[in-house]
Amino acid sequence: MARKRIGDLLIERGLITEKELEFALDTQKKTKEKLGEVLINNKIVTPENIAKTLAVQLEVDYVDLTKVNIPLELSKLVPPNTAKKNHMVPVQKQFNTLYVAMDDPLNYYALDEVRKVTNLKIVPLISTSSAVERAINTLYGNEGAWRAIEDYKRDQDTDASAPDKLDSSVQYYVITSGSFSGDSDNAPTIRLVNSIIERAAAERASDIHFEPRENEMDVRMRVDGVMRDVLKVPNDITMAVIARIKTMSGMDVAEKRIPQDGRFTVSVADRNFDMRVSTLPIAWGEKIVCRLLDKSATNIDKEMLGLRPDDMEKYEKLIHYKNGVMLLVGPTGAGKTTTMYAMLNELNTRDVNLVTLEDPIEYNLDGLNQVQINPKVNMTFANGLRAILRQDPDIISVGEIRDGETADICMRAALTGRFVMSTIHTNDAVGAIDRLEDIGVEPYLISATLRGVISQRLVRRICPYCAEEYTPTADDEERLGIKIQPGTKFKVGKGCQHCFNTGYSGRIAVFEIMLVTPKIRELITKKAGREAILEELKKPENKFVSLKEAGIKLIYDGITTVYEVMRITNESD
């Protein structure tokens, strides 16, 4: 009996219309893609829709890999290279039968190869391509880590006095794909650290946390601003892992009583990462945090920031002032550095002298004169600024205003015809004025030089693959403080294989941009206070949109959720 065509099955299941199928078939003739790929790329169906429909067509079972705990021992049956090459992951073993998840269960060559490797009967299951990829990374990442731990214990049993070989002279490291599977040339601790870094890179983590506890060490990663548990390392290998990371970072391994900072560069799958490392003595040892900076992501421009049209107009006006001060505000992790580098990329032309003061230098940009702060030799922001002013600058970028001296020099530099950009830690745009006054800057200097303030936060995007509409509740209306019109639909992610069942995938910036108008200058000079400035900003001619209002617009656009907006505006959810 002939199989039904995938297009017909999709129509039967109510997932597409005849018109959409016709469009997809016409597109397929031009692109030569599979029909499913055309439908997914044009957002007509989700990858899960295609996988579940193919399961019906091919008479195989569909598996949601986010809801399956794959036993670690299965990684020993199918080698990582075999799994990666054939894009399949073992899911379950029952007697002499091995169930494997694939995005193409008709790949008989792959099935035959696994059958020969395992000497077992192979039953294919179908899942989405991204889910299989993530399951492979998770399974073999953990497998590599545990194998390294087991090897370490074995080595210690053999020779308790033999430490891992650590080379403190090397500051650039290469982690080749699959190195977590067990490179015999590396000591177990090196392979364990490599596997953790490789997994962090694969999962787009911004930070790795190594946290010693009483009986073990927790390894966690921050992905899209949220911490995730990754691994637990036994106590007997904890000190070796910490020593390895400190050695890679150029730190003093013997010094455990005071915090230390270091860095190293690592290459993972042809991507270079700058690793910023910090240690902190805690109750059960030294906590280490590694921040990953993708050095290939230096081509940042304003289009990537997610500015709305009205915000873009204000942004353009701000960065093209010839003199004055422009401030970026927000807490740590709000995306200020990304916005600053987008500005620097745009302003970095051959007809200006642009100098930056950074601590640390996050990305190296061609054409910029980038200065690294070094307090050990008294190279502070204030002293660096004084030196820069003797270098005939047109534009100065200061990493952060931390004290009144630095702020005062920035303001006075702006008075002499320079354009100065910097960041400062406040909760909102108006708060920047309060902060400057608090650290001792005279109101007349603020009103004379401040051109504008950009406040920003990052909110998580709703996963496009599992987003579904719902009718806002009275609770949503109350929390947002707005009247929601009947018939309005919001979106939420229900959780799927693509987003690790979180309902979110990626992040987007939310902006609050305040332009300093003549009236606001007058209020600053008079020390009118926060409420008076906010009242002025609310006037229609100022077109001021607060962080909360900008977040609500993203909710209406189906980009983020009520929970996320409440989180970034410091209001209870």
How far is the CA of 499 from the CAs of 413, 462, 505, in angstroms? Answer: 47, 9, 6
d(CA 536, CA 157): 72
Best CA proximity match to 429, nearest among 404, 457, 458, 397: 457
**Burial of 370 (C-beta count, 10 Å sphere; 0-12/13-18/19+):** middle
Tokens (6 digits) for 217: 């060490």
What's the pLDDT tens digit per position in 115-148?
A: 998 999 999 999 988 888 888 877 776 666 666 6
pLDDT at site 222: 92
Best CA proximity match to 352, nearest among 340, 341, 367, 339: 367
What's the pLDDT tens digit per position in 143-201?
A: 666 666 666 666 655 554 444 433 433 355 666 554 433 444 467 788 889 889 988 88
pTM: 0.72
- According to DSSP, residue 379 is labeled B
* Cβ-proximal residues to 161 (8 Å cutoff; 6+ apart), any chain: none
| Cα-only R_g, the chain | 28
pLDDT at site 338: 87
Identify the band that residue 510 occupies on the pLDDT scale cut at 50, 70 and 90.
very high
User: Strands, DSSP E only, in 106-199?
Assistant: 121-126, 172-175
* Cβ-proximal residues to 228 (8 Å cutoff; 6+ apart), any chain: 220, 221, 222, 500
pLDDT at site 362: 79
The fraction of the chain above a pLDDT of 70, given in percent, is: 90
Using the CB atoms, write b or e for 472-506: b if 16+ within 10 Å.
Answer: beeebeebbeeebeeeeebbbbebbbbbbebbbbe
Determine contact, residues 216/238, Cβ cutoff 8 Å. yes
d(CA 180, CA 143): 8
d(CA 424, CA 411): 14
Q: Which amino acid is at 244?
A: R
Q: Which amino acid is at 378?
A: N
Best CA proximity match to 3, nearest among 63, 61, 62, 55: 55
Say which residue the tokens 């500015």 belong to: 307
pLDDT at site 185: 46
Roughly what angle, to the nearest 10 degrees, separates helices 235-248 and 129-158? 100
The fraction of the chain above a pLDDT of 90, given in percent, is: 44
Determine contact, residues 536/524, Cβ cutoff 8 Å. no
Identify the band that residue 295 occupies on the pLDDT scale cut at 50, 70 and 90.
confident
pLDDT at site 549: 93
Q: How many angstroms from the chain centroid is the CA of residue 159? A: 41
Q: Which amino acid is at 96?
A: N
Q: CB neighbours (10 Å) of residue 187?
A: 20
pLDDT at site 573: 39
Determine contact, residues 172/250, Cβ cutoff 8 Å. no
Which H/E stretch holds residue 262? strand 260-268
pLDDT at site 211: 96
The mean-pLDDT minimum among 158-167, 293-302, 316-325 falls in 158-167
Determine contact, residues 388/394, Cβ cutoff 8 Å. no
pLDDT at site 171: 58
pLDDT mean across residues, the chain: 86
pLDDT at site 234: 86
Tokens (6 digits) for 317: 């006006």
* Residue 559 backbone phi and psi in degrees, to 5: -95, -35
d(CA 222, CA 211): 13
d(CA 298, CA 362): 9
What's the pLDDT tens digit per position in 219-231?
A: 999 988 888 888 8
Mean per-residue pLDDT for 389-405? 93
Residue 209, pLDDT > 90, answer yes
What's the pLDDT tens digit per position in 351-377?
A: 999 999 998 787 778 888 999 988 889
Question: Which of 73-87, 288-302, 323-337 is most confident?
Answer: 323-337
d(CA 146, CA 519): 64
Largest CA distance in the chain: 86
